[in-house]
Amino acid sequence: MIDIKLIRENRDLVKENIKKKFQDHKLLTVDEIYELDIKYRETKQEGDNLRAEKNAKSALIGNLMREGKKDEANTVKEEIANYGKRIEELSALEEDLALDIKKKMMTIPNIIDDSVPIGKDDSENVENEKFGEPVVPDFEIPYHADIMEALNGIDKDASGRTSGNGFYYLMGDIARIHSAMLSYARDFMIDRGFTYCIPPFMIRSDVVTGVMSFEEMDAMMYKIEGEDLFLIGTSEHSMIGKFKDQVLKKENLPYTLTSYSPCFRKEVGAHGIEERGVYRVHQFEKQEMVVICEPEDSMDWYNKMWRYTVDFFRSLDIPVRTLECCSGDLADLKVKSCDVEAWSPRQQKYFEVGSCSTLGDAQARRLGIRAKGENGTYYLHTLNNTVLATPRGLIAFLENNINADGSINIPVALRPYMGGKEKIEKKGK
């Protein structure tokens, strides 16, 4: 949520930003907010003036009574009673206007960074940089589900019976390497000074609306029937919510946290859920990084964070690239975002394995996350980034470490988490 001062003082900037995001249907909303805000401030001012006048007249009554001016005192009492009725009306109107303004403000996209490329959707995202040489081996790489099945590592039939499409059982060494990657991702971030955290896996609706737009909420979140609780789509939701309504000490900034959680997503949209594979599923696990920092430090942290993900995948012998998200591909709360994509030697193209975003003070405004400075309190900046989301990260690992005989090489970094194993092989070999 942007600062309403921007709409009061620079509507053209807000509208130009909306146009850059190809959301012209929201242009009228900016004018509506502007007019409602004028009415809100006028209503508030009238109420404040009446309260001051009411208090002043209330002070007169005692003096008038002591002076024996009973009729005058009663007249003042009647005036005060009328003030009280009008103040109640104004208070109710003020509350209604504030709620209406907030509801509309929540739909206005954040001001994007000047460096963000302008484009309508993800087809216009821009490649930034490649890391590692993408290799296509001289043997055919099977589909990832076939790699797993050959190693007795996946059972989609059973998950179909228990849970339906979009779920899976991981088994044996495949399940073990999946867990090993998450454990390594945890330690990778701890070694970089981040504090490890396991958050709640359910959050209340006021936290959900604090961390994402209504459109994202409808497309992603699973609601717990009969409860004001939602299953998280990523641990960022809980981790940012941890600081809701807090005034943080400047000396404790920045907060750098790395969190593990299962994630649950409806995945509503054109992409659909994969029937055979596990690239797009309803349930997965994730190691996340979250930073809460001073506004002037957020872009430095943004550049550190995406680099951590690049370094993580390169340590697993996986070539990656970064892709700058264009304006139309940015969620409404984001200032700037880039995807980290892993090389798929089977498809001979890159696919997304993580996303790094700075959201400015948008989430902080919605959730009331502030620090206290010399000139009072101010909103902090929030950032998030994927260290590892798996099984998607597992797919990248398998494709880039498979041998012609179907065995999987285990990079040095993962061997301590695999009991020293250097390779996953088919049983009986």
Q: Which residues contact 106 (CB under 8 A, 6 or more apart)?
A: 1, 209, 213, 214, 366
Q: Sorting pLDDT into bands at 50, 70 and 90, what band is 55?
A: confident
Q: What is the pLDDT of residue 380?
A: 98
Question: For the chain, which domains are there?
Answer: 4-105 (1.10.287.40), 122-424 (3.30.930.10)
Distance CA 199, CA 244 (A): 14
Local confidence band at 330 (pLDDT 50, 70, 90 cut-offs): very high
Task: Report residue 30 as tokens.
Answer: 């900016």
Question: Most distant CA pair in the chain: distance in Å?
Answer: 110
pLDDT of residue 269: 58
By residue count, the chain amounts to: 429
Backbone conformation region of residue 215, classed left if phi is above 0, alpha if psi is from -120 to 50, else beta:
alpha
Q: In the predicted model, what is the mean pLDDT of residues 32-55?
A: 93
CA angle 337, 17, 34 (to 5 degrees): 130
**CB neighbours of residue 245 within 10 Å:** 10
pLDDT tens-digit readout, 293-304: 999 999 999 999
The answer to whether the CB of 388 falls within 8 A of the CB of 374 is no
Is residue 273 scored above 80 in pLDDT? no
Helix or strand holding residue 247 (H, E): strand 247-248
**pLDDT, averaged across the chain:** 93
Strand partners, 197: 259
Residue 150: closest CA among 371, 392, 406: 406
Taking CA atoms, 44 is separated from 48, 91, 101, 328, in Å, by 6, 8, 14, 37
Answer positive or negative: Cα dihedral of 113, 118, 121, 122. negative
- What is the rounded distance in angstroms from the CA atom of residue 186 to the CA atom of residue 315? 14
Pairing assessment for the beta strands 255-264 and 230-231 based on DSSP bridges: unpaired
The pair phi, psi for residue 280, each rounded to 5°, is -125, 110
Tokens of 115: 């460096």
Range of lowest pLDDT (60-64, 128-132, 142-146, 422-426):
60-64
pLDDT of residue 429: 45
CA–CA distance, 153 with 186 (Å, rounded to integer): 23
Helices (H), 153-246: 156-162, 172-190, 205-211, 214-220, 235-241
Per-residue pLDDT reduced to its tens digit, 393-417: 999 999 999 999 999 999 999 999 9
What are the pLDDT digits (tens) for 185-225?
999 999 999 999 999 999 999 999 999 887 788 888 999 99
Over 60: is that where the pLDDT of 270 sits? Answer: no
Does residue 306 contact residue 340 with C-beta atoms inside 8 Å?
yes
Model pLDDT for residues 93-140, shown as the tens digit of each residue: 999 999 999 999 999 999 999 999 999 999 999 999 999 999 999 999
Q: Report the C-alpha gap between 94 and 100 in whole angstroms.
A: 10
β pairing state of 255-264 and 195-197: parallel
Cα separations in angstroms, 58 against 63, 84, 244, 275: 10, 11, 40, 74
Q: Are the C-beta atoms of 294 and 265 separated by less than 8 Å?
A: no
3-state secondary structure 150-179: HCCCEEHHHHHHHCCCCCCEECHHHHHHHH
Provide the pLDDT for residue 428: 56
Residue 193, sorted as left (phi over 0), alpha (psi -120 to 50) or beta, turns out to be left
Q: pTM score, two decimals?
A: 0.89
